[in-house]
Amino acid sequence: MTERTTTWRMILVLIAVLGVWTGLCGRLVYLHLFPSQKLVEDSQGGHILKRELPVARGRIFDTHGHLLALDLPMKNVIADPTLTTNDQQKYDVALKLAQTLNLDPALILPRLETPRSRYKVIQKFVSVEITTNLAAQKLPGVFFEDASARRYPHGTFACQVLGFANLEGVGSAGVEQRFHDLLKGRPGLRIGEQDGKHREIYDRRGTEIEPQDGADVHLTLDMHVQHLVERALDEAMRVHQAKRAWCLVERVRTGEILAMAARPNFDPNDYRNADTNAIKNLAISHVYEPGSTFKLATVAAALDAGTVTADQIFDCESGKWLFRGRLLHDYHPAGRLTVADIIKKSSNIGAAKIALTLGEERLDQYLRAFGFGRRLGLDLPGEEGGILYPHRQWTALSISRIPMGHEVAVTALQLLNALCCVANDGHLMRPYVVARIEDAKGLVLRRGAPVELGQPIREDTARLMRKLLIRATEPGGTSTKACVAGYTVGGKTGTAVKFVNGQYDSRYNVASFCGFLPAEKPEIGLMVVVDEPQPLHTGGLVAAPIFSQIASNAVRCLQIPASATLLAGAAETTGGPL
Amino acid sequence: MKIRRNRKKFSREAAGQAPFFLALGLAAVAAFAYLWLNQRCEALGRRLSQLDAQKAELQRQIKQERSRWESAKSLDQVEKLLLRHHLTMAWPDERNIIRIRRVADEPSAAEPAASRRQYARAGGVAHD
């Protein structure tokens, strides 16, 4: 090989190498100066870390700060079946998962036998203690995801008021639903870079937006009073073999709801297995014909309009009265009764005759002023407005039936609120369950405050009505079993025959009692409703004792002083057992 | 023959090279500073991450304990415990209770009008 040939070869190699290098450099310059969008996205996408920072849903408290609902950090257990290589390994992993998670291995194994999938949920919302135990076992292909689960530490307590948040964290009933936007908070955001193994490069952390925890909701519910109500309802369901029962307690002067419960109930921690009827808040969502409890509105209206006086006498026709071709009965037949005694004896005929003095139009006006036939604006979802047809649509019999609580449908809340209006010198207050909502920094976002909806009756009429309602709980009245030792009680019983299969069937009744105490200076109003109690079925025998049971302890919980006049004479003023 | 050193020329050359060495030294210092800062940032980042995890874990534990505590002191639970230990509780006799009215219970001007009026109507003092 000549020296010349060697030189040429070297030159050619040099040219080739230079050509390659020039090409590479050219490409490099091109990529840097004129990069295509796709390439930029591909290169950056792998390194950019964009992580949503989890946020805790707001908590729910009672009026004393007892925690009723909170979010607990949990983990989801996930499997990547592609990382378990053989059948024996799959079986071992399934067995260990089943033992730790208390599951059937036969349910886990099929999920591990899906080689194409890299993401199989084994179990959601597992406590961190359990996942720590699992992590220590270093099972191949098993990893964990952060999750958050809603917990209600008191179980079924106040379940219809609280409602529940579903697995996606969306409030789906009660306070959880009504204030979901405030409770849910706002998740944070972290933008940075990660290495090839998806580990964060800490010093490349760019944007960091702190999560804003959800606002805390403080309710007006009093845990102790709520407990009394819940226990009394459980007992009522057992003793009276009732189909349903519900009760609510309201502070007369402000409209604060102190307790609200219904049976059947459900556990919001396990809402997926709850009966839909149990989720319904009967106190505000269920409308029913109230029966005689409605007479208090009729009589108050007539007294306020001046069409009757308390001592005016009406002929109650010895319990049977033919009005426009249809008989009207009294449960306790009576002859001539004063208006005061009509309330005390709960005469249907008397109430109808009182309403006739008032006339359809004015009765309709008064009833609507008391809040019937419309929603009161309670801060909970599902409130019903009841049914009260305009007087132009009333039948010829309506004027005799509506005064005794038929041909009209109300919620327990409406009726209790009307009673509280009488107890509150004629001022109708808007009921509310949320005392305040505070954000995570303690800033008050919303404050529940007493709101007056109107004054359907004058103050002197309300005072007179209170006296008449006190008489109903005195000997000879229908509500004697509602008495509370040491306290004067005013109230009204109701026994409504239910409309079943196209007709009123006396075997099915709704027994109710609404009352307030201490009657001389009312503090709280209570409403008890028992649906289809057996064998006793009247409000006086079924609902009034429940009222007494709850009220006698509630006054102690709420530190309401006993009536001074009764205190001196009372031999025993203690309430029932705690 | 002894070669004589031209001190004048040497010092002139040394003076000419000084900026170069100074720049080299500064570059070395800057490089070491960069490495040290990088290391420090990395360490702080790790620490930050650890503290983040620790904070999250402590918050989780607080919530867990709060939930347990609330469950433990629920009134149902207390009643069960009382029953288990055959304890019966009763309210004190009303005549044995001394009620003290506090100035704080007086209605304030900030209270809503409806409420204030009702308190006033009730005698000007809320029950304690």
**Does any domain span residue A29?**
no
Q: Which helix (H) or strand (E) holds A202?
A: none
Contact across the interface for A253 and B99, Cβ inside 8 Å: no
Contact across the interface for A151 and B67, Cβ inside 8 Å: yes
Q: How far is A543 from chain B (nearest CA, A)?
A: 23
String of b and e for A157-175 (b: at least 16 CB within 10 Å)? bbbbbbbbbeeebebbbbb
User: Which member of B45, B91, B94 has the closest CB to residue A578?
Assistant: B91
Q: Are B79 and B100 within one domain?
A: no
**Does any domain span residue B36?**
yes
pLDDT value, residue A86: 79
Q: Are B64 and B115 within one domain?
A: no
Q: How far is B84 from chain A (nearest CA, A)?
A: 15
Q: Is B39 on the interface with A (CB under 8 A)?
A: no
Q: Are B81 and B106 within one domain?
A: no
State how far the Cα of A230 lies from the Cα of A327, in Å rounded to an integer. Answer: 40
pLDDT value, residue A191: 87
Looking at the 3D structure of chain B, how many domains does it have? 2
Using an 8 Å CB-CB cutoff, list chain B residues near A203.
Answer: 38, 41-42, 44-45
Tokens of A168: 């996606």
**Does any domain span residue A137?**
no
**Chain B residue with minimum CA distance to A459:** B121
**Does any domain span residue A562?**
yes
Using an 8 Å CB-CB cutoff, list chain A residues near B118.
Answer: 253-254, 424-425, 427, 450
The answer to whether the beta carbons of residues A430 and A377 sit under 8 Å apart is yes
**Does any domain span residue A134?**
no
Q: Are B61 and B97 within one domain?
A: no
**Does any domain span residue A39?**
no
User: Which member of A72, A254, A427 has the closest CB to residue B67?
Assistant: A72
**Does any domain span residue B23?**
yes
Full domain range(s) for residue A514: 223-434+446-569
Q: How confident is the model at residue B120 (pLDDT cuts 50, 70, 90)?
A: very low
**Does any domain span residue B1?**
no
Q: Are B65 and B116 within one domain?
A: no
Query: E strands within A220-370?
Result: 244-251, 257-263, 313-315, 320-323, 326-329, 336-338
**Does any domain span residue B96?**
yes
Q: Are B28 and B60 within one domain?
A: yes
Q: What's the average model confidence in pLDDT over B105-125? A: 45
**Does any domain span residue A155?**
no
pLDDT value, residue B108: 54
pLDDT digit string (tens) for B32-45?
A: 999 999 899 888 88
SS3 state at A337:
strand
Full domain range(s) for residue B65: 8-89
**Does any domain span residue B84?**
yes
Looking at the 3D structure of chain A, how many domains does it have? 1
Residues 11-30 of B with CB under 8 A from A: none
pLDDT value, residue B121: 41
pLDDT value, residue A567: 53
pLDDT at B110 over 60: no
**Does any domain span residue A124?**
no
Q: Are B20 and B62 within one domain?
A: yes
- Domain CATH for A239: 3.40.710.10
Q: How far is B69 from chain A (nearest CA, A)?
A: 9
How many residue pairs bridge chain A and chain B with CB atoms within 8 Å of each other? Answer: 109
Q: Are B32 and B66 within one domain?
A: yes
Q: Is B86 on the interface with A (CB under 8 A)?
A: no
Q: Which residue has the tokens 């944070």?
A: A188
* Averages of pLDDT over each 10 residues, chain A, 578 residues: 81 92 91 80 76 87 93 88 81 87 85 81 86 87 86 93 92 94 90 77 79 93 95 95 96 96 94 91 95 94 95 91 89 89 92 94 96 94 94 93 93 96 96 94 92 95 95 89 91 91 88 93 95 92 95 92 63 43
Q: Which helix (H) or strand (E) holds A353?
A: helix A348-358
**Does any domain span residue A399?**
yes
State how far the Cα of A94 lies from the Cα of A103, in Å rounded to an integer. Answer: 9
